[in-house]
């Protein structure tokens, strides 16, 4: 493992539609991520919030930021000691377009579901060196696989 990990969580089960309060299921999922981040000893964590394209640009920026802040707060409550940043990106980038639906219809909202998400990226977990190895690579690493 290179010390990096990523989690993409659908906002539909983290939050109710158009809300920024974590659901019971959302708390459970974020708590599991927190446990994994603590176990990996992540040093830096970025929480990114996204919305679908429904609603105004300014509203979606605000909603995505509030959701990212809420997940960050839950990670801190869960004992994650890493440096955590929370950024709301609004509707960009969309991961699913959903053209051809009546605007605001249930079918369109259902189709747009993958765009309503929170992504958590972590890096910088502590490398545990084995006895006899050196910090500059030493005998660890894939180098032996490439020797002829």
Q: Tell me: the pLDDT tens digits for 50-99?
A: 999 999 999 999 999 999 999 999 999 999 999 999 999 999 999 999 99
Residue 2 is predicted with a pLDDT of 53
**CA–CA separation, 82 and 64 (whole Å):** 21
Question: Which tens digit of pLDDT belongs to each residue from 96-128?
Answer: 999 999 998 999 998 998 888 999 999 875 433
At residue 141 the predicted structure's pLDDT band, cuts being 50, 70 and 90, is very low
Query: Radius of gyration of the chain from Cα atoms?
Result: 19
Q: Residue 53: which residues within 8 A CB-CB, separation 6 or more?
A: 60, 91, 94, 112, 115
Q: Which residues pair with 8 in a beta bridge?
A: 119
Residue 56 DSSP one-character state: -
Sequence-separated (6 or more) residues with CB below 8 Å from residue 145: none
Angle, to 10 degrees, between the axis of helix 57-77 and the axis of helix 24-40? Answer: 60
Q: Mean pLDDT check: name the lowest of 23-27, 55-59, 100-104, 137-141.
A: 137-141
Phi, psi of 85 (to 5 degrees): -110, 145
pLDDT in tens, 8-22: 887 677 888 788 999
């Amino acid at each position: 493992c290179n010390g990096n990990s990523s989690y993409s969580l659908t906002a539909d089960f983290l939050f109710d539609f158009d809300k920024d309060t974590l659901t019971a299921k959302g708390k459970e999922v974020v708590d599991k991520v927190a446990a994994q981040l603590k176990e990996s000893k992540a040093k830096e964590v970025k929480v990114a919030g996204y919305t679908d394209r429904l609603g105004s640009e300014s509203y979606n920026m605000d909603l995505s930021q509030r959701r990212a802040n809420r997940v960050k707060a839950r990670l801190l409550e869960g004992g994650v000691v890493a440096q955590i940043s929370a950024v709301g990106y609004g509707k960009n980038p969309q991961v699913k377009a959903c053209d051809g639906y009546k605007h605001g219809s249930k079918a369109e909202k259902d189709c747009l579901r993958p765009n309503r998400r929170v992504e958590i990226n972590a890096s910088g977990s502590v490398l545990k060196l084995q006895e006899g190895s050196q910090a500059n690579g030493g005998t660890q690493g894939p180098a032996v696989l490439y020797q002829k």
